[in-house]
Amino acid sequence: MFAGFVKDQRHVNGVDIAYRLGGSGPGLLLLHGHPQTHVIWHKIAEQLAEHFTVIAADLRGYGDSTRPPASAEHVNYSKREMARDGVELMQALGFTQFSVLAHDRGARVAHRLALDHPAAVARMVLLDIAPTLAMYSQTNEAFARAYWHWFFLIRPAPLPETLIEADPEAYLRSVMGSRSAGLKPFTEQAFAEYLRCLQRPGSARGICEDYRASAGIDLEHDRADLVAGRHLNLPLLVLWGAEGTVGRCFDPLKEWQQVASNVGGKALPAGHYLAEEVPEQLLAEALDFLLPAH
């Protein structure tokens, strides 16, 4: 995996962010989701590196990045702080402006990154999410049953952490395997890496704090943006799985049009894990959108 990439870490915004770097050209930041790591990009990273300097980072609390302690109002895991990690990492690597390709939790970080640091992001691709505020405010029974972890993980500590730490592999298989494609999209090597990182001390805390922040302080930030009239003004592409929960329970393109002025998107023939289920289709859509010639 990641042939030609260098694995490293940088101390930025008070934490160590682990990442892989490969390729040359304009900067492209890749951000993963829960309960995974930057390894989600292993099927397309080398092809992206033919056109970009690719930085595939582990979010704080995940992978081999720092797992900060819990904090009042879960500030340490707010998407504002996680976005600052990404901006400072890219600056440390020489990129004051870059594009972003992000999935799941990473896409929520990317949304905040582009709002808080609009000059830093040239173009952005977000995978299989609707805006956090829209998803919470429109929750129905079908969504709650499919995304049960959203409500389990935000329970007060230490209950969710204790249950995850009791059997990390069972948690991983339950969350990832219960989606439309089951565990088929994940190679043995990738799954082993996700499990290794989930078993690291503090991983369960990081995951729970990430979700607790999204159900609290992140919503406060999102509501403040709405009141202030702040929108995403950069070119934005949103892609989602035709067989996934987000596409079934929400109208992703319509929801993004409420908070972005220049957005297009479509469903791909997959479930939630686009980069591992339909890497060829995702790569084609992403390159068509991200390359300067287009």
Q: Is the pTM of this model over 0.95?
A: yes
Please say whether the dihedral angle defined by the alpha carbons of residues 164, 167, 173 and 178, taken in this order, is positive or negative: negative
Please answer whether residues 289 and 98 qualify as being in contact, where contact means their C-beta atoms are separated by less than 8 angstroms: no
Please answer whether residues 117 and 88 qualify as being in contact, where contact means their C-beta atoms are separated by less than 8 angstroms: no
pLDDT at residue 293 in the model: 66
Strands of the sheet containing 15-23, edge to edge, are 6-12, 15-23, 53-57, 27-31, 98-103, 121-127, 236-241, 263-268
Quick one: average pLDDT of 146-153?
Answer: 96
- pLDDT band of residue 180 (cuts 50, 70, 90) is confident
CA distance 171 to 186: 15
Per residue in 88-97, pLDDT tens?
Answer: 999 999 999 9
Other C-beta atoms lying within 10 Å of the C-beta of residue 243: 17
Query: Is the link from the previous residue into 158 a cis peptide, with omega within 30 of 0?
Result: yes
CA distance 237 to 181: 24
Query: H-helix or E-strand containing 11?
Result: strand 6-12
Mean pLDDT of the residues in the chain: 97
Instruction: Tell me which residues are annotated as active site.
Output: 104, 272
Query: Is the link from the previous residue into 35 a cis peptide, with omega within 30 of 0?
Result: yes
- pLDDT band of residue 292 (cuts 50, 70, 90) is confident
